[in-house]
């Protein structure tokens, strides 16, 4: 080891290159061998995976029909139908559900195997094609699935014996009859399976085989009621396992390595040996001429010469970075301090006035005044939390635009009417919507929720800092440049030039007596700027202290090309009052939240049933058919609101379910809509809005 340490750096580099070359050669041949083995393994695993996918797909495809026919065949109504042959009931309850069950033929037989009544689509032309020999076997097994070959093609048949509802396992009573569901295996059926399995599907005769070296193939037998194969389904997925390109790349790498090894030995001497000698001279003597020569080197060693001169610059840069880091920490600390203040302010009012309400000597007017303060403080606290959550989602890139078709004129008029009634009565402000010179008549594509939030943030900010004068907003469209420019003008306090550069920054707030008076975290403008940039736009500010401010932001103008030219009639909807006798299931795990909902519901005389978790909600809905509506909390133990909804929809698809949740973002709202909730209400719950939603749902 000592002898090796005495070798010069240049020779060490040479020896390192030799060892590296040997190691690389071993690695190359190992990779080549591994590639050959991997090629075989990938084909094997892909085939096994494909076979498992096909088997799972066929099982899942059958389970829904098995579940359906099992459910239908222990209806008491169906047992009665076999005796009464009530054609009207059959048409409304069975025949009308062909499309629901996604089958093409439904038929009921009595116990003597005589057909009672049938319903079919145009796909099935024959009647009574069920073999008589099937019935004894079905009588014994209770449930059968088999295939029959008809002139119009292969059909999948599900048969079950009919029993009363008190015998769901079909082991206590004798069958009352037989019921069959038939599905034609046509192009629609195959297209659906092909999309799900990403494969090509075809019929094969029993003795047919398919050979394709570029594909993986899975065949499954179609069995008749005797268990004999009458055909096969072939699933074929393209899989060209070809590692030729990988092998060629390995060959090229090896040849390049040999050439590189030669060049490496040549240039090591030229580019490393000589500069190392020069570095030794510089470090030993500190010769400035040697430093200059080292800096002039055309290789990486030229950077080493710059290290001496850059040392001071690096120290200065480190000091500057340290100051910036300290400034950032100070800004965050100031933000957290302000956040603590803004949260404690409404909490102080909530806790303080709640304590005052315990005084039994309060007058009704004082009690109403205290309750109003508590309500307003709670709303302020929710607003602060919403801003924090929204900003955190923006920072985490969890928010994306949701483009929809909107009428911009209607949207702005709606905002005007919405904001106008919120202006404090103590302010003498003329609030006006400036009409566009060339209004946009056609619908446009944008994120309506985010656009409204941007405008609301800017207008409410303008109103907050304007005591008298005016606040106006409007837009102008530039068709040539495909942009829309929105302006918000006010005669408020104005912003000085120094603060205009930081007004949109996070963790920044302009301090001052008036800013302290109106409060807030100062996140509104930061959120607005983030939304505007998310929509592909920009925002700018013109302001003068004591005169006012003008905010201007621009977003792309994209017309909805799918817009219909036929005007739609406006239908006025009226919501009828409910009679107050409805039964409502409230799924809520928190006792306080349930108590609140219970007290609210008592105002309308609703009958309330509670479920403490999602599993209880499912069980109660299954057992109690008198429930008219469900209020479902999203976050609950055992089963979440989403999971409980999915299970309830299986056996009670028409039962209206409203989500009540603390999740309030537009993404969460869209998720609830897609899941199947008829509506939602966010916490903290507004009782008037809750009553309106319930009335609309039960109307």
DSSP string, 505-537: STT----SHHHHHH---S-HHHHHHHHHHHTT-
Spatial CA neighbour of 689 closest among 678, 699, 679: 679
The pTM is what?
0.43
Burial 378-416 (b: 16+ CB within 10 A, else e): eebbbebeebeebbeebeeeebebeeebbbbeebbeebb
Nearest to 550 by CA among 502, 492, 483, 501: 492
Measured between its terminal Cα atoms, the distance across the chain in Å is 91
Q: Look-up: residue for tokens 């909107």?
A: 406
Give pLDDT, residue 193: 82
Q: Which of 247-280 are b and which e, b meaning 16 or more Cβ less than 10 Å from the residue's Cβ?
A: eeebeeeeeebeeebeebeeeeeebbbebeebbe
Residue 309 and residue 281: Cα distance in Å, rounded? Answer: 17
Task: Report the alpha-carbon distance of residue 488 to residue 549 in Å, rounded.
Answer: 8
Cβ-contact 489, 455 below 8 angstroms? no
Sequence-distant (6+) residues with CB within 8 A of 280 are: none
Instruction: For residues 640 and 632, give the distance between their C-alpha atoms in angstroms, rounded to a whole number.
Output: 9
Residue 531 C-alpha from the chain's centroid: 18
> What's the pLDDT at 647?
95
Rounded Cα distance, 433 and 410, in Å: 12
Residues paired with residue 679 on neighbouring β-strands, in sequence order = 658
Measuring CA to CA, which residue among 417, 419, 338, 350 is closest to residue 381? 350
Write phi, then psi, for 603 (nearest 5 degrees).
-65, -25
Contact indicator for 465, 427 with CB cutoff of 8 Å = no
Tokens 């619908």 correspond to 443
3-state secondary structure string across 479-510: CCCCEEEEEEEECCCCCCHHHHCCCCCCCCCC
Separation of alpha carbons 77 and 179, rounded Å: 13
Helices and strands (DSSP H and E) totals, the chain = 22, 20
Q: Count CB atoms within 10 A of the CB of residue 534.
A: 17
Place of tokens 């600390």: 333
CB-side neighbour CA atoms (13 Å) of 564:
4
Contact 541, 500 (CB under 8 A): yes
Q: How far apart are CA 680 and CA 696, in angstroms?
A: 12
Identify which of 377, 340, 400 has the alpha carbon closest to the alpha carbon of residue 665: 400
Provide the Cα torsion 665, 671, 673, 679; round to 10°: -50
Please give the pLDDT value at position 627.
94
The total of other beta-carbon atoms located within 10 Å of residue 584's CB is: 19
| Contact partners, residue 616, CB within 8 Å, separation at least 6 | 587, 638
Closest CA to 488 of 540, 437, 524, 535: 540
- Regions of the chain where pLDDT drops below 70: 1-10, 213, 240-244, 247, 282-283, 286-288, 290-291, 298-302, 304-305, 308-313, 315-316, 324-346, 349, 376, 380, 383-384, 386-392, 395-398, 506-522, 563-580
- Residue 402 has what pLDDT? 81
* Residue-level pLDDT at 563: 61
Give the strand order in the sheet containing 229-238: 200-204, 229-238, 215-223
Q: Which helix (H) or strand (E) holds 539?
A: strand 538-544
Indicate the DSSP class of residue 559: B
Q: Is the dihedral of CA 557, 560, 563, 565 positive or negative?
A: positive
Token digits of residue 340: 């603590």
Q: How far is CA 695 from CA 577, 578, 629, 630, in A?
A: 6, 6, 11, 13
Which residues are CB-contacts of 314 (< 8 A; sequence separation ≥ 6)? Answer: none
For residue 340, the model assigns a pLDDT of 63
Q: Does the N-terminal peptide bond of residue 684 adopt cis geometry, omega within 30 degrees of 0?
A: yes
Is residue 681 a contact partner of residue 693, using CB atoms and an 8 Å limit? yes
- Domains of the chain and CATH, by start: 323-395 (1.10.287.130), 404-556 (3.30.565.10), 583-698 (3.40.50.2300)
pLDDT tens across 497-531, in order? 877 777 877 656 555 444 444 445 567 788 888 88
Q: Measured on CA atoms in the order 498, 501, 504, 507, is the torsion positive or negative?
A: negative
Q: Which of 164, 188, 184, 186 is nearest to 174 (CA)?
A: 164
Q: CA 197 to CA 51: how far, in whole Å?
A: 10
Confidence (pLDDT) at 151: 84
**Rounded to the nearest 5°, which phi and psi values hold at 625?**
-85, 0
Within 10 Å of residue 473's Cβ, how many Cβ atoms? 22
d(CA 451, CA 521): 21
Report the run of H or E that residue 120 belongs to, with start and end. strand 115-120
Q: Of 594, 687, 682, nearest to 375 (Cα)?
A: 687
Counting beta carbons within 10 angstroms of the beta carbon of residue 188, is it exposed (0 to 12), middle (13 to 18) or buried (19 or more)?
exposed
């Amino acid at each position: 080891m000592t002898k090796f340490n005495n070798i010069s750096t240049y020779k060490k580099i040479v020896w390192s290159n030799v060892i590296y070359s040997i190691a690389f050669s071993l690695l190359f041949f190992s990779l080549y061998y591994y590639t050959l083995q991997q090629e075989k393994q990938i084909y094997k695993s892909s085939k096994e995976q494909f076979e498992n996918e096909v088997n799972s797909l066929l099982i899942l495809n059958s389970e829904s029909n098995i579940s359906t026919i099992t459910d239908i065949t222990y209806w008491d109504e169906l047992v009665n139908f076999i005796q009464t042959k009530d054609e009207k009931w059959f048409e409304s309850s069975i025949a009308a559900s062909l499309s629901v069950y996604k089958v093409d033929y439904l038929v009921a037989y009595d116990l003597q195997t005589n057909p009672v009544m049938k319903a079919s689509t145009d796909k099935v032309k024959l009647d009574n094609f069920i073999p008589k020999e099937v019935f004894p076997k079905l009588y014994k097994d209770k449930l059968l699935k088999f295939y029959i070959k008809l002139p119009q093609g292969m059909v999948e048949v599900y048969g079950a014996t009919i029993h009363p509802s008190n015998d769901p396992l079909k082991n206590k009573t004798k069958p009352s009859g037989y019921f069959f569901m038939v599905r034609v295996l046509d192009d629609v059926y195959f297209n659906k399976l092909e999309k799900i399995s990403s494969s090509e599907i075809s019929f094969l005769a029993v003795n047919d085989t398919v050979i394709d070296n570029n594909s993986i193939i899975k065949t499954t037998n179609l069995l008749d009621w005797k268990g004999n194969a009458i055909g096969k389904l072939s699933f074929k997925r393209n899989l060209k396992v070809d590692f030729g390109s990988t092998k060629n790349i390995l060959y090229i790498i090896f040849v390049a390595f040999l050439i590189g090894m030669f060049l490496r030995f040549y240039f090591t001497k030229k580019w490393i040996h000589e500069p190392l000698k020069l570095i030794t001279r510089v470090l030993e003597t500190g010769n400035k001429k040697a430093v200059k020569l080292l800096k002039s080197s055309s290789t990486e060693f030229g950077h080493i010469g710059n290290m001496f001169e850059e040392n001071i610059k690096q120290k200065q840069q480190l000091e500057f970075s340290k100051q910036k880091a300290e400034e950032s920490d100070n800004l965050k600390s100031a933000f957290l301090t302000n956040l603590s203040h803004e949260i404690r302010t409404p909490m102080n009012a909530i806790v303080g006035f709640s304590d005052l309400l315990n005084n039994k000597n309060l007058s009704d007017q004082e009690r109403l005044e205290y309750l109003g303060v508590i309500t307003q403080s709670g709303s302020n606290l929710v607003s602060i939390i919403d801003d924090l959550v929204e900003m955190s989602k923006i920072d985490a890139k969890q928010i994306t635009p949701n483009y929809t078709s909107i009428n911009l004129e209607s949207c702005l008029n709606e905002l005007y009417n919405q904001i106008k009634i919120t202006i404090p009565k103590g302010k003498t402000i003329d609030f006006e919507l400036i009409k566009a010179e060339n209004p946009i008549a056609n619908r446009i594509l944008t994120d309506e929720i985010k656009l409204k939030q941007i405008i609301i943030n800017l207008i409410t900010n303008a109103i907050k800092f304007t005591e008298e004068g005016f606040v106006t907003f409007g837009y102008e469209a530039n068709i040539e440049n495909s942009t829309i420019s929105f302006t918000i003008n006010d005669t408020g306090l104005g912003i000085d030039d120094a603060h205009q550069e930081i007004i949109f920054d996070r963790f920044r707030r302009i301090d001052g007596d008036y800013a302290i008076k109106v409060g807030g975290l100062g996140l509104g403008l930061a959120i607005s700027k983030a939304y505007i940039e998310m929509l592909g736009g920009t925002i700018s500010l013109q302001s003068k202290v004591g005169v006012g401010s003008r905010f201007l932001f621009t977003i792309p103008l994209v017309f909805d090309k799918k817009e219909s030219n036929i005007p739609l009639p406006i239908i006025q909807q009226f919501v009828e009052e409910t009679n107050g006798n409805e039964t409502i299931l409230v799924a809520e795990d928190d006792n306080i939240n349930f108590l609140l909902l219970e007290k609210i519901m008592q105002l309308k005389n609703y009958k309330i049933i509670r479920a403490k978790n999602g599993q209880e909600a499912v069980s109660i809905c299954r057992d109690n058919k008198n429930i008219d509506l469900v209020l479902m909390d999203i976050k609950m133990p055992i089963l979440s609101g989403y999971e409980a909804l999915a299970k309830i929809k299986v056996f009670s698809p028409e039962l209206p379910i409203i989500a009540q949740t603390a999740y309030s973002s537009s993404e969460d709202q869209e998720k609830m809509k897609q899941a199947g909730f008829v509506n939602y209400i966010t916490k903290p719950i507004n009782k008037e809005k809750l009553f309106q939603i319930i009335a609309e749902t039960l109307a």
